[in-house]
Structure 1
Amino acid sequence: MRPSDLAREHGLSTQAVRNYEESGFLPPAERTPSGYRVYTAIHASALRAFVALIPAFGHARAGQVMVLVHAGSLDDVLLTIDRGHEQLLRDRETLNSVSRAVEDLTGFEPVLEPRSIGELARRLDVTPATLRAWEEAGILVPSRERTGYRTFTAEDVRDAELAHLLRRGGYPLARIALVVSQIRTAGGTDTLAAALTDWRRRLTTRGLAMLTASARLSEYLTAREQAP
C-alpha cells in the first residue's frame, strides 16, 4: 500500500501519514530499493486506531497511546486509557452536580441591594470565616468598597447559595469552585440550564468515541500479535 492508499480512507494528506509514521503513531514502513514507503494492512489498522483515538482522548493522548503500543508498553497503554475514562467520569459528575444545583436554585430570587459579609453569612446560616474560605477558594468574588469591606451583589448571593447546596452535599471546595465558575461564565443559571443539554451531548459523544477507539485499538493489537 502507498501513503495515498492509507490517507484516502480518512481524508488525510499523504504527508500527514508520513508525519504520523515519523512521530511513532504508525509502525515503521518498509522501503523499496528506490526509497518509497511500503505500507501494509498492519499500518492501515494502526491508522484506524489512531484516528479513532483522537475524538475519544484528544490528539496528544492518542499519539501517546500509539507510541506506547509500539514501545511494547501495554500496561502504560491501558493506564493512559484508564485516565481518559477517569476524566470523563469526573466531567459527568461535575455536569450532574451543576444540573442538580440549577434545579435546586430554580425560582431563586436575587437580592437587588448589595449585602455585607455578615448579612450573607446570616442568610446562609454560616460564619463569615466560612465565606472568606470560599472566597480564598475562588468560589466567591465580591467587590470591595474603598474602606476594604466586601460587598456581595445578587450574582454573588446566587453563587453563595449554590456553594452552600454543594457543600452540604459533601463536595470539596475545589469542585465547588469549578461548578460555580461554570455558572458564572454562562451568565446565570437560566443560561447555564440551556447549555447543559449541549454539554451532556458532548460527553455522550466522547463516551461513544471511546467505545469505538477501544474496538479499533483492540483490532490493531490483535493484528500485531497475528502478524508473521
Structure 2
Amino acid sequence: MNRLLIVDDHRIFTDGIRFLIEHTTDLEVTGVLQSGKDVIPFLTHNQIDLILLDIDLPDLPGFDVAKMIKKTYPQIRILALSMLDDVGSMDRMFQNGARGYCIKSDGREEVFKAIQKIREGGTYWPKSFQLILNGQNGKMSENRLTERENEIIGLICNGFTSAAIAQKLFLSSRTVETHRKNIYRKLNVHTNVELTHYVKKHLILKNPTL
C-alpha cells in the first residue's frame, strides 16, 4: 500500500505535496495528472494503491472521476482533496467511493494524517461530516445549504455572473461553478431563473437582498 497517484491541476500544490511525500514517507509517487480524463488510461498501465483526487478539475469533476475509479478499480483507495468545505461535496464523494476527504486549507498535517488512516484500512473525514456519518448512517439532507452556498445564491439572484462572484469572494470560477451545481442539485432547479423563483417562494436566504 505505497504506490500513490496525485490528480490535481494546481502545479504549485502538486509539486509541494509530492516533494513532502517523497521525502517524509515511504510512499512512492507513481504519477501526477492534471486531467480527470487521463486517470483511467493511466491506471490501465500502472498499479496504484491510493489516489489523492482533487474535485475541481478542468475537464471532469472529481465526483465523476471517483465513481469511474470505484467501478473499474474498486480496490484503489481514494482520498479527496478540495477547497470545498461543505458537507454536500463530502457526502457526494463518500457516495462515489472515496475513503476520506481533506480540505486543502487545513494544511499538510491533515493530509498526511488522512493518508495514514486510509493506508491502515480506515477512513478520514472532517469533523463536520463525521457527525453526520455517526448520526445518520452516511445519509444527509439534500436541502442542507452551507453559508457559502447561501452567499452565492444571494449573488446569483442579484445578477452576478460566475466570474463576478469569483472575484468578489476570492474564489476560482471553477469553484463557483461547482458550488452552483451543488445548489442546483440540492434545490432541484436547473437555471438561475428557477433558482430565483425558488428563493422568492421559500425565502431560504437569511438576509435576502432580492
- Give me the TM-score of the superposition, normalised by structure 1: 0.26
- Which has the higher Rg, Structure 1 or Structure 2? 1
Give the TM-score taking structure 2 as reference length: 0.28
Name whichever structure is richer in helix by fraction. Answer: 1
Larger RCO: Structure 1 or Structure 2 (Cα < 8 Å, ≥ 6 residues apart)? 1
